[in-house]
Amino acid sequence: MACSLRAIHPFDQELAFDKLRKHPTIPPGAVDEEIEVANDRLKPVDEGHLWPRVFCAFKGCNWTSDVGDEECLHRHLEESHAQDLEPILPHMLRGEDPAALLGVYHEAIAVKCRSQAPLAGCSIDRGALKAYTSACSNNNTEALICFSCACIYVHLADLPPQKQDIQWTRPVQRRRGTNNFNFLGLPAAQGVDLLDFNAFLERYDQLNVAGKRLTDHETFDDWTLAVKVERCDEPAKILCCPEANGSCGAPACPDKNAYTYIYIPKLLVCVSRVTILNASQLRFTLNVNLRHQSLPRY
């Protein structure tokens, strides 16, 4: 959190005990907080109800969302509770940080929770399991192999790009002020050569000394993509993984030859380094990626 906890702790204590509900980790209306006997008041916690995914902990606020996320909660806090949260921002080390308001809110909830015994029950477990299942379903959680260095990092769909160690990027970029393209930060002819389909066949087509070949069983039509290279009449054919576009957030590709739709996984620290690697280094990491099927997607 972008703040000094020691500096704002008294302010968050006041916010926690004056503005938040008695049980801020339970959605509004789930329990009757007017019931004095705790066992009777907290019965719904152990009844296995499916509670909203996100909700507001402020007293008298009934905002909930079954499909929202932390960004939705942040917008709600800015729209409805800024008058309670913003006075604390000047006491933070980085009060101008976009996430500062949400940080104050989370710390106030933490202060409130630390003042009482933690809640546990089937309803809380059900919500946690649903959140876990949602985060791990489809391609929301991926173990991506960096196309430059072959390191494996987790990519989470729920995290904003600036918080990811690795993300899907486009290797084909138009050079500023020209109609020519770079591929992997290199001139297109040099970059495309690293993924050239014919070069791949030279290295991997022959499976054994008896002459058995990959091309005897696979045409590779779905595994290749045409990329235009300057000063060449015909596009070059490169390897490309034929997975669904939605897995990397890319728009639907209208044409297999639309090479600007290629996406590859790249570590953020590698995005600016690829141009200083020589061809032999890139070929080595490409061989590692080929064994793990970490190819561009379209």
91: amino acid identity, one letter? H
* Whole-number Å distance between alpha carbons of 122 and 174: 54
Pair 171, 236 in one domain: yes
Residue 195 resides in a domain: yes
* Average pLDDT score over the chain: 75
Residue 18's domain comprises: 5-136
Tell me: do 116 and 145 sit in the same domain.
Answer: no
pLDDT tens-digit series, residues 69-94: 888 999 999 999 999 988 888 877 77
Residues 17 and 120 in one domain: yes
Dig out the tokens for 276 from the structure.
């200083």
Is the same domain home to 190 and 232? yes
> Does 177 lie in the same domain as 263?
yes
Helix (H, G, I), strand (E, B) or coil at 52: coil
Place of tokens 């989470």: 156
If DSSP codes are grouped into helix, strand and coil, which group holds residue 196? Answer: strand
Task: Write the DSSP symbol of residue 137.
Answer: S
- pLDDT tens-digit map of 184-239: 777 777 777 777 888 888 888 888 888 888 888 888 777 777 766 666 667 777 77
Whether residue 88 is contained in a domain is answered as yes
Residue 160 lies in a domain: yes
Q: Give yes or no: residues 274 and 215 share one domain.
A: yes
Per-residue confidence band for 251, with pLDDT thresholds at 50, 70 and 90: very low
Return the bridge partners of 187, or none: 182
35 and 86 in a common domain: yes
- pTM recorded for the entire structure: 0.56
Phi, psi at residue 164, to the nearest 5°? Answer: -90, 145
* Structural domains of the chain, count: 2
Tokens of 141: 């959680």
Tens digit of each residue's pLDDT (9 = 90 or more) over 6-15: 445 576 688 8
**130 and 22: one domain?**
yes
Q: Are residues 111 and 200 in the same domain?
A: no
- Of the candidates 121, 136, 151, which is a domain's last residue? 136
Q: 86 and 146: one domain? A: no
Residue 84 within any structural domain of the chain:
yes
- 264: Cα separation from own chain's centroid: 14
First to last CA, the chain: 37
Write the pLDDT tens digit of every residue in 257-280.
445 556 677 666 665 454 444 444
Q: Is residue 127 included in any domain, yes or no?
A: yes
pLDDT for 166 equals: 85
Say whether both 177 and 127 belong to one domain.
no
Tell me the backbone φ, ψ of residue 192, rounded to 5 degrees.
-65, -30
**Rounded percentage of the chain residues whose pLDDT exceeds 70:** 72
Is 296 within the bounds of a domain?
A: no
The three-class DSSP label of residue 21 is coil
For residue 270 the two structure tokens come to 């590698």
pLDDT higher for 125 or 222? 125
The answer to whether residue 159 is domain-embedded is: yes
- Flag whether 297 is in a domain: no
In angstroms, the CA 249 to CA 91 distance is 39
Alpha helical stretches, state H, 32-120: 38-41, 70-80, 82-85, 100-114
Q: Are 167 and 263 part of one and the same domain?
A: yes
- Rounded to whole angstroms, the Cα distance separating 132 from 113 reads 22
pLDDT above 60: residue 248: no
Domain end, chosen from 66, 101, 136, is at 136
Residue from 94, 239, 262, 242 nearest 168 by CA: 262
Residue finishing a domain among 114, 136, 158: 136
CA torsion sign, 251 to 252 to 255 to 256?
A: positive
